[in-house]
Amino acid sequence: MAKRSRRVKDTVTEPKMAKRSRRVKDTVTELMNDDDRISRLPDGVIHHIYSFRDARSSVQSSVLSRRWRNTWKSHPRLNFENNLFSSQTSGFKYPNFAQKFLSARVHVAELSAIDFRSNSISLLLLKKILDYAMSHHTRKVNIEFLGSKQTRRGGFDLSLFRSHFLEHLCLSIDFEIIISPPVTWDLPALVHLNLDRVKIRMEPSNDSASKSIDLFSGFPNLKTLVLTRCLLSNFSTFIIASSKLEYLSLKGLYCGCKFVISAPKLASFTYYGMPQFSLISNDLLSLKTVEFGTLYHKSFDNKAQLGDLMIKTFVQLSKAETLTVNLDVLWFLLENPDLLEKRCCPFMRLQSLTLVVCKLPPSLAVFVAIVKFFRRGSPSIKFHLKIDSTPPIVRYRIW
């Protein structure tokens, strides 16, 4: 009876054991197949993850899941980054990778932005990236050369920049933009333009051709224009005309031309550079803020004339309510005491003046003369002193 009882008991428990075993097996199979959580992520989440990675990492992530193998080919934001800490070998291989990446990408996929940062770049690759961006209706292009040495590898003409969709363009690289009149820069949707270390050179058809250039008239929606450490070559007049321009910054420019600015909505103007700066404008009616810095040295022969030129520039900026200058500006003004006594201060609306200095001058007479000069135009002006060990004019390399 005992043996029969055990046999009956075994036949009763055996199905339970089998069910439990199947449940464990199913659970393990489900966990093994949890590829599956990664694969089930929506495209929007996958592309959001890609937005934090560079192009190389995006391609490498294709091993995570079968579904991810081709997802990177339609990512709308491309981030090519080959930083200064990469090996020399990988630096040479990177241009080939970038070209293969663009060739493998889904041609009809939307492309909203391209970021390219590298310490190794060729003119051929740069042209390919720009051409790809222009042909894919890209809205934002940022190209930055990270190397400290100058490349001097040539340039490209304006015909490469043709887009009715580009809104943001940043070029930080010492290549040339060659302008051959009557070709114009046609970017009607552009809102923000930032050029750093770019050489802008005009090639007139003959020696009698006009040396005047109006480079931004084809940007009817331009609101922000920043030119930093740019070399402006082969023209005498540089025209900046824009009906919507609100912010203009000129820093560390190397040029011998005069500037003509027509921007009725301009609210902020910044200039840091050499004292030979000539400005002509008569419609800066919305101007609120001006920052003006220059470089003074005792060896300059024509300091008084440069001071007079600076006053003439201030006349063009006279609508400003807030003014920031460095101490070098004051030295130029003080070179000609008669100038300060005979001329009226051009800033009739000025409410605040900030003086940026590396160290205090040896004599307070500097401040007394300047206070008298500016209060002739605005008796209620407020003065502020700012100590800055690295003034902006020093931060920007002059060509």
pLDDT per residue over 166-200, tens digit each?
999 999 988 888 887 766 788 999 999 999 988 88
Indicate if 394 and 302 belong to the same structural domain: no
Indicate if 324 and 289 belong to the same structural domain: no
pLDDT at 318: 92
Indicate if 94 and 153 belong to the same structural domain: yes
How many structural domains does the chain have? 2
State whether residue 200 is helix, strand or coil: strand
The H-or-E segment that residue 2 falls in is helix 2-32
Q: Comparing C-alpha atoms, which of 100, 64, 101, 62 is closest to residue 79? A: 101
pLDDT at 45: 76
What does the pLDDT average to over 282-301?
89
User: Is the confidence at residue 6, as pLDDT, over 70?
Assistant: no
Q: Which two tokens stand for residue 185?
A: 């820069």
Indicate if 331 and 229 belong to the same structural domain: no
Share of the chain above pLDDT 90, in %: 26
Backbone angles phi, psi at 393, to 5 degrees: -65, -25
State whether residue 319 is helix, strand or coil: coil
What does the pLDDT average to over 237-266?
93
What does the pLDDT average to over 240-260?
93
End-of-domain residue from the set 267, 302, 318: 318
**What's the domain range around 157?**
43-318
> 331 lies in a domain?
yes
State whether residue 176 is helix, strand or coil: strand
Alpha-carbon distance values, 167 to 131, 133, 268 (Å): 16, 12, 20
pTM: 0.81
Q: Comparing C-alpha atoms, which of 51, 67, 40, 55 is closest to residue 105? A: 55
Indicate if 287 and 341 belong to the same structural domain: no
> 8 lies in a domain?
no
Lay out the sheet containing 212-214: strands in order across. Answer: 212-214, 237-241, 258-262, 279-280
**Whose structure tokens read 């009557």?**
182
Cβ(197)–Cβ(229) below 8 Å: yes
Q: How big is the chain by its Cα radius of gyration, in Å?
A: 31
Cβ(117)–Cβ(83) below 8 Å: yes
pLDDT at 88: 45
Higher pLDDT, 102 or 49: 102
User: Is the confidence at residue 220, as pLDDT, over 90?
Assistant: yes
The secondary structure of residue 372, as a DSSP letter, is: H
